[in-house]
Structure 1
């Protein structure tokens, strides 16, 4: 099999890259180790920056997001039982975010790829890539029990943190930066109306909580829990009781509970692997970087990588220019590190770090007090939350 760009991974970043390239007349093949149904079953974030929505429009898949997504003008921080609203629109000159689940983004992209007739090889096993340091990269895998070899001009590694693309790079060629946080998020999804029309980030003596949503009738809630917690130890009732304890009185009184559709525990980490290009292999999204979910940056960072990579590849094929490809890693990382900083900062600000000295807790309280009393500080938060320019 021969293609211009081989994309490893059929998550939203791989599918979005494929769709943008298809619309520019660049041929792609996507290889995915899971089934399409499994990819759609992943429960992920759902706060989209305006730049991500614009990119979906460019890819021709933004119509449903505009029709069904929830535009949010602000976000609320609850500290010690008192809520404080950050007016995103007013503080950023009119910018907002769109609440639209990552599952729905993936569904829209899958449907567009199927309509385009582009090739996606699901349930591909034993995937390996080689030759990306040469002008003839290729991949080998097994699909339906049959061996498949794919030759390409370039390989895009959109296969996530545990994927094979970054793992195929020689260790001495990578520089890795990582911080693992001493807690996890326990998440619950339910078909219940959201407790508030906007997200509530809550700092409480018992631990952080987040009230989010996917639609006017579907809610997503999170609790900070120790790394040792297991999802099977949390009944729905235990989750709802603990969440209510951490909410401000108004939110606690209006919380609607119901059976969980899904519960999961996710540890938090900050991670960056540099560079993001190795010959004709380009890493994008979680394959190159992870952020704690506190700042809602994971999917949005992947989208900005895809923006840079699609532009560079289109420039290569249309203009025979290598400039975009040569600057890909540096352009991505400049934005990645700003998002890493913001996500780290907001995580430090809103979570409990019980093992740290009391001095750190005092600094955290002082920073919160400064933020909530300073319009300038709130503008910095708002500018980062809605997304820095690409």
Structure 2
């Protein structure tokens, strides 16, 4: 079998790239080691930058997002017993969209299926070959048979633990990583959100986040030590803890209920350089991870897709390799800015045990300054809604 682009990984970045390529008349095949139901069973973040929203529209998959998604014009910072709203709309002229990643993925899957795009699920031993040369190909096993797909390019959209990044570890890749000394205990519950916008809370007991997936489904988080185990946390214990970290009026308004998902996620920052190895490209989590504080993980994957799609369009439409050659540098320039913002939000809102009371006072001073400075708020808002591609 032959195609123009093989996309390894059918998460949001792979599906978005595949949809854009298909709309542009560029043949592609998506391969994944798991099935559709497994992918749709993963619960992820859902704050979309304006660029991500635009790309869903460009891919022809944004209709349900606009119908069911929630437009947020701001968010609240909670500290020292009070709240301050960052007015994204007033500060930047734009907003963000709250729409669950699972629903976004479902939309892209449904549109790909409707358009007749080729997707291979449950593919074992997926392996990219000869991407350093002119004739790359990908092999995989399915139903006991080994298959081969010859192609022009390979897009590695298969995540941090995927085969694509593993395949370039001996090819001069440089990894940068920061591991944070805590994690997020998160629950998903079918209860109305405590507030119509997100609340990021800095408290002496640790960080908390009040977010949402819809008007009837809420997602809440609290900062916990990495030594904590999810089974040690009952629903009641979680609700008591998050309410203790919020202003009184918010805590009293919170509706509680049984969790439908509960997990602890460690926080880390990671970037791989470069993102191009011959005719193989790392995209999304295959090339970078951000702590979720700045809501950049999914959105960074979208900007990678934007740059790679432009490069492939130029290659096939204009017979130019300029965009392909520029992919890594263009993507990394935006990635590092998002890494910086995510690091700064994490540093500002979490309690770091080693920093002690001095660190707490510095955070409080920074938050107090932020609440009184239009320039500081504008910088935060510009990064939160997403820097331009």
Q: Same fold by TM (over 0.5)?
A: yes
Partner of 1:265: 264
- Aligned mates of 2:242, 2:145 — CA distance in 1: 50
Query: How much has 1:365 moved relative to structure 2?
Result: 2.4
Is this contact kept in 1: 2:271–2:287, CA < 8 A?
yes
SS at match of 2:185: strand
Q: Aligned partners of 1:241 and 1:380: how far apart in 2?
A: 34
Aligned residue for 1:87? 87
Tell me the secondary structure at the aligned position of residue 123 of structure 1: coil
Q: CA separation in 1, counterparts of 2:32 and 2:247?
A: 43
Moved more, 1-10 or 170-179: 170-179
Q: Is structure 2 residue 116 aligned with structure 1 residue 117?
A: yes
Paired position in structure 1 for 2:255: 256
In 2, Cα distance between equivalents of 1:142 and 1:238: 46
Task: Give matches, 1:175-190, under 5 Å.
Answer: 175-190=174-189
SS in 1 for 2:213: strand
The 10-residue stretch of structure 1 (141-150 or 8-17) with the greater mean CA deviation from structure 2? 141-150
Q: Deviations over 1:272-309 (max 9, x none)?
A: 00000000001110000100000000000000000111
Match of residue 41 from structure 1 = 41
Report the alpha carbon displacement of residue 141 of structure 1 after superposing the two structures with TM: 1.1
Instruction: Name the structure 2 match of 1:141.
Output: 140
CA separation in 1, counterparts of 2:368 and 2:58? 41
Gap regions ≥5 residues in structure 2: none
Superposed, 1:202-281 pairs within 5 Å as 202-281=201-280
Q: Which segment is superposed worse, 344-353 or 307-316? A: 307-316
Secondary structure of the structure 2 residue equivalent to 1:268: strand
Work out the CA distance in 1 between the residues paired with 2:236 and 2:124: 40
Q: Distance in 1 between matches of 2:385 and 2:173?
A: 31
SS of corresponding position for 1:34? coil
- CA displacement at 1:316 relative to structure 2: 0.5
The equivalent residue for 2:327 is: 328
Offset, 1:358? 4.4
| RMSD value, Cα | 1.0
Give the C-alpha shift of residue 170 in structure 1.
3.7
Query: Which whole-Å CA distance do the structure 2 matches of 1:367 and 1:344 have between them?
Result: 15
Shift of residue 355, structure 1, vs aligned partner:
1.6
Distance 1:248 1:143 in 2: 54
1:215-266 CA distance string (max 9 Å, x none): 0001000110011111111111111111111111111011001111111111
TM-score with structure 2 setting the length: 0.98
- Residues 325-376 of structure 1: per-residue CA shift (max 9 Å, x gap): 0000010011000000000000000000012354433332222221111111
Whole-angstrom CA distance in 2 between matches of 1:189 and 1:95: 28
- On the 8 A contact 2:79/2:364 being kept in 1, the answer is no
Contact 2:185 2:262 in 1 (8 A): yes
Determine the structure 2 residue equivalent to 1:69. 69
Q: TM-score, normalised by structure 1?
A: 0.98
- What secondary structure, in the 3-state scheme, does the structure 2 residue paired with 1:347 have? helix
Distance 1:198 1:302, change over 3 A: same
Q: Is the 8 A contact 2:80 2:364 kept in 1?
A: no
- d(CA) in 1 for partners of 2:87, 2:52: 20
For the Cα contact (< 8 Å) 2:15–2:109, is it kept in 1? Answer: yes
- Corresponding residue pairs, total: 389
Q: Secondary structure of 1:247's match?
A: coil
Ranges of 4+ aligned residues in structure 1 off by more than 6 Å: none
- CA offset at residue 172 of structure 1? 4.8
CA distance in 2 between counterparts of 1:54 and 1:64 reads: 13
Q: Tell me how far 1:145 sits from its aligned partner.
A: 2.4
How far apart, in 2, do the equivalents of 1:58 and 1:311 lie?
13
State the Cα deviation string for residues 101-131 of structure 1 (Å, max 9, x = none).
0000000000011011111111111111110
Structure 1, unmatched stretches of 5+, are none
- Between the aligned partners of 1:244 and 1:170, the Cα distance in structure 2 is 45
What secondary structure does 1:215 align onto?
coil
